[in-house]
Amino acid sequence: MDFDKVVEKRRSVRKYKNTDVPKEIIEKIINQTVTYSPSANNLQPWKFLVISDEKIKQKIVAMCKRNSYMMNAPYIVIALSNQVECYEIIGNYMRSDVIDVSIAITHLILAATNEGLGSCWVGAFEADKIEHFLEIAYPWRILALIPIGYPDETGTYVSRKPSGEVVEWVG
Ligand SMILES: Cc1cc2nc3c(=O)[nH]c(=O)nc-3n(C[C@H](O)[C@H](O)[C@H](O)COP(=O)(O)O)c2cc1C
């Protein structure tokens, strides 16, 4: 798909068709993500857990507030960030892991759109509970959950602030 189309077409999708997604497509988009996403000092402080087992999904979704629609997605990808093996001093004041993994998630979501898949960035989850359940330990943390499946809705355009409000051309 043309890049402009991918960017325009991406929407948060919260309804998924009851259709299987071939595992190869999920592998492809994750490979594109981990192969091409940039990260500070190229430290790549990410890991992606792919969940498709219904029982595991059920337990995880129960630990996410107001996001039960995720059960309809055949896959839930859990993005982890490594709080230690990342660049320490972005802008002289913060670690890079959240930035790096957020960029990778954006790649993942756009790569999914390019394959005709729908997805949503989910931030409303109980990290401690899911980390305990999946035995995720320090220095790893969950940054986001991303349900992925064939969309059963186009998603609605949610308006944005006008560019005049958020862009400043500083001479
Ligand atoms: C950090 C982050 C957390 C989000 N958390 C949730 C969430 O928990 N549940 C949900 O349904 N959507 C969630 N969203 C999706 C946003 O609501 C959505 O991106 C926004 O309303 C713009 O709509 P659009 O993605 O369709 O353009 C999240 C998005 C981001 C970037």
Distance, in Å, from the CA atom of 50 to the CA atom of 29, rounded to the nearest integer, reads 12
Using pLDDT thresholds of 50, 70 and 90, give the confidence band for residue 18. Answer: very high
User: Does the structure show a pLDDT above 90 at 156?
Assistant: no
**What pLDDT is attached to residue 41?**
97
Please name the residue ranges forming H helices in 20-53: 23-36
* Helix, strand, or coil (residue 9): helix
Give the Å distance between the CA of 86 and the centre of ligand 1: 25
Mean pLDDT of 75-83: 98
Give the Å distance between the CA of 171 and the centre of ligand 1: 34
Choosing from 15, 72, 120, 161 the residue with most ligand 1 atoms within 8 A of its CB, the one to mutate for a pocket test is: 120
Report pTM: 0.97
Angstrom CA distances, 67 to 50, 95, 118, stand at: 18, 29, 15
Q: Which amino acid residue places its CA nearest to atom 17 of ligand 1?
A: 12
Give the Å distance between the CA of 122 and the centre of ligand 1: 6
Write a three-state SS string for 125-145.
CCHHHHHHHHCCCCCEEEEEE
Using pLDDT thresholds of 50, 70 and 90, give the confidence band for residue 155. Answer: confident
Angstrom CA distances, 11 to 14, 46, 81, stand at: 9, 24, 24
Largest Cα–Cα distance in the chain?
56
Domains along the sequence of the chain with CATH: 3-153 (3.40.109.10)
